[in-house]
Chains A and B, each alone.
Chain A
Amino acid sequence: DAGVTQSPTHLIKTRGQQVTLRCSPKSGHDTVSWYQQALGQGPQFIFQYYEEEERQRGNFPDRFSGHQFPNYSSELNVNALLLGDSALYLCASSPLLGQGMTQYFGPGTRLLVL
């Protein structure tokens, strides 16, 4: 049973560019959440997707957007990259309703903005 997978593992971009990160949830999970983790900090919640819609959103600007596909996989898009967007981006999956409260995290995508 494959866990949560993310691609790419590492990415280097320059300021102003756009980036797309991808996540495949654990088998049987229909909810995907994205987190940003700056160096030395705990992960910060960006948003959560269920049934192809954004259900919850943290305190992140509109430059951060996402998408969920019918197969429950998800993308995180960041436009107009800033140096401060350099971080580890984590995807977590979970079943939405009543089957447990555990979130399963992928290994993350490390983004460096130059």
Chain B
Amino acid sequence: DAKTTQPNSMESNEEEPVHLPCNHSTISGTDYIHWYRQLPSQGPEYVIHGLTSNVNNRMASLAIAEDRKSSTLILHRATLRDAAVYYCILHMNYGGSQGNLIFGKGTKLSVKP
């Protein structure tokens, strides 16, 4: 799986939007962009994923650049419970089967009240 680059840490104020960037300049055409987050003392939790088009779900939005070399996870209104490490992962779908996830160090998001 290709490598991703994320800032080590970011800060946000509660109830404000947060944009978490991820660079993946070596992405291939079959790589999906996944975001997971890990709250303190918990296992990672799936947030969202996409291939080419922007995606929205109840947790977040994923904006994917036209050339797919970067993406941004958007939390529309950060809450204190969103404080976590956010991982951007490129995941190749092996003909429909699950490959493993290759995690980097992620971005540690702090949310101030």
Chain B minimum-CB-distance residue to A33: B100
Do the beta carbons of B97 and A43 come within 8 Å of each other? Answer: no
Interface size class of A (residues with CB under 8 A): 20 to 34
* Majority DSSP secondary structure for residues of B touching A: loop
Tell me the smallest distance from the CB of A43 to a CB of chain B, in Å.
Answer: 5
Interface size class of B (residues with CB under 8 A): 20 to 34
CB-CB under 8 A from A25, the residues of chain B are none
Interfacial residues, chain B to chain A (CB-CB below 8 A): 32, 34, 41-46, 49, 85, 87, 91, 93, 96-106
17 A-B pairs with CB atoms under 8 Å apart are A33-B100, A35-B103, A40-B105, A42-B87, A42-B104, A43-B44, A43-B101, A45-B100, A45-B101, A45-B102, A92-B43, A94-B98, A95-B98, A101-B34, A101-B93, A103-B46, A105-B43
